[in-house]
Amino acid sequence: MTDVIVIGAGPAGLAGAIACAQSGLKTVVIDEFIKPGGRLLGQLHEKPSGEWWNGIKESDRLTKEAQDLSVNIRCGVSVYNLEKEANKWSVHTNKGTLSASFVLIATGAAEYPIPLPGWTLPGVMSIGAAQVMTNVHRVQVGKKGIIIGANILAFAILNELQLAGIHVERIVLPEKGPLSGKAGVPNEVLKSLTDASKLAPSSFLRLGGRLMKSDGLRKMAIKFFPKNGVKMNGTPLLLRKAAVEIIGDQQVEGVRVADIDAEGKIILGSEKIYEADFVCIAGGLYPLAELAAVAGCPFQYIPELGGHVPHHSEIMETPLDGLFVAGNITGIESGKVAMAQGTTAGYSIAKRAGKGGIIDDLLQQAVQNVRTVREQAAIQFHPEINDGRKKIYEQWEELYTKKQNEYDDVKIG
């Protein structure tokens, strides 16, 4: 008999499974990837202390801790549906159906695509695909690459490609259009980069951080942005150039790039072809929440959290009895925050399962820990993350807690 099924063996799912198992619940974790760790596996960066955040080591540590507590981790298993049947959740996978009273969905995030002509050619991949090929599979994605899209994730992964000796020739923006949105407008890109200036990838941007909060100054900065770009550890970041087409016959051979003005408008006659044998598209991340939708969970669109997220409380419950969520499915943040959220969800499930003792204290500490980790996070994908969190928790109060209180009042009265 399984008490808890955790979907996703990323930092959130593994931490959740550990907290459940520590509370005495029999727990199974399912993941469709070949090994546990989720997107943590590919992560590698130097912390301000000079130590390295090595995602493979972190994943191994979490996996071992879970297995020592007898958590059953099953990789290579995909979940495609879940539904409530007679007080239990049935989780349908490509390897059969599992059932339990509690389910924790921790499916993480996916990347927004930016379709542009030629993007289906072999050799074009999402930036995250390059991260996994490089750090997890240790296979070279190519000899000479171009990154399309300038954001925090692209810079983090550029650094990882450089570490592994993979040559990235330049970073350009996508052409402005309905599908690329703000990612194609130099002014907006500079704004989002300076909002995250404490982790800005080059001293140029870091210096300007505060200053460029002013619209006028930013426009000026874009106007005088060096034509050859600002070098990021050797790779030029070209904020005034946009990719209009990826070219190649059977696979990527290059990218057609044009100069653009501060608002992203193409300057006619400026097109040029840059050679490349691989292209990475960096469109940003959104919560991968399909399974919560399939289960019947209501959703809210919150841009500060990266997109549509299932309704949930600060202790990670959803409005559906027995269904919990944690990690990037609740909003895009770093792996450490996902881990802290997972622990919270695990204790929350234990409490709901009627585990007594110090569970209330543990849960409260876990919630506090999420806030602390969030404040200290080295990577923040959305600068207004706190506003986003506030919105979703306030909505929970409004929709679910108040109603419950009114209901209780009526019952007592």
Ligand X SMILES: Cc1cc2nc3c(=O)[nH]c(=O)nc-3n(C[C@H](O)[C@H](O)[C@H](O)COP(=O)(O)OP(=O)(O)OC[C@H]3O[C@@H](n4cnc5c(N)ncnc54)[C@H](O)[C@@H]3O)c2cc1C
Q: Residues 4, 5, 19, 31: which binds ligand X (CB under 6 A)? A: 31
Q: Are 35 and 56 in contact (CB under 8 A)?
A: no
Q: Residues 123, 145, 335, 346: which binds ligand X (CB under 6 A)? A: 335
Give the one entry of ligand X, other proteins, none that residue 122 binds, where binding means its C-beta sits below a cut-off of 5 to 8 angstroms depending on kind: other proteins
Distance in angstroms between the alpha carbons of the first and the last residue of the chain: 41
Taking the complex as a whole, the smallest distance from the CB of residue 379 to ligand X amounts, in Å, to 4
**What is 15-68 written as a DSSP string?**
HHHHHHHHTT--EEEEESSSSTTGGGGG-EEE-TTS-EEEHHHHHHHHHHHHHH
Q: Which secondary-structure segment (H or E) carries 254?
A: strand 254-259
- Under the binding rule (CB under 8 A), the answer on residue 123 touching other proteins is yes
Q: Residues 86, 139, 268, 410: which binds other proteins (CB under 8 A)? A: 139
Q: Residues 18, 62, 66, 79: which binds ligand X (CB under 6 A)? A: 79
4 or 41: CB nearest other proteins: 41
Rounded Cα gap, residues 34 and 42, in angstroms: 13
Binding mask 9-48 toward other proteins (x if CB under 8 A, else -) reads: -----------------------xxx----x----x----
Rounded Cα gap, residues 387 and 95, in angstroms: 40
CA dihedral 346→129→188→168, nearest 10 degrees, is 140
Cα four-point dihedral sign 271, 276, 277, 279? negative
Binding mask 65-94 toward other proteins (x if CB under 8 A, else -) reads: -----------x-x----------------
93 - beta bridge partners? 79, 96
Say how many CA atoms lie within 13 Å of 324 toward its Cβ.
34
Interface contacts to ligand X, rule CB under 6 A: 7-13, 30-33, 38-40, 43, 78-79, 106-111, 128, 131, 153, 156, 285, 288, 291, 327-328, 334-335, 338, 379
Interface contacts to other proteins, rule CB under 8 A: 32-34, 39, 44, 52, 54, 56, 76, 78, 110-111, 113, 120-126, 128-130, 132-135, 137-141, 163-166, 250-251, 288
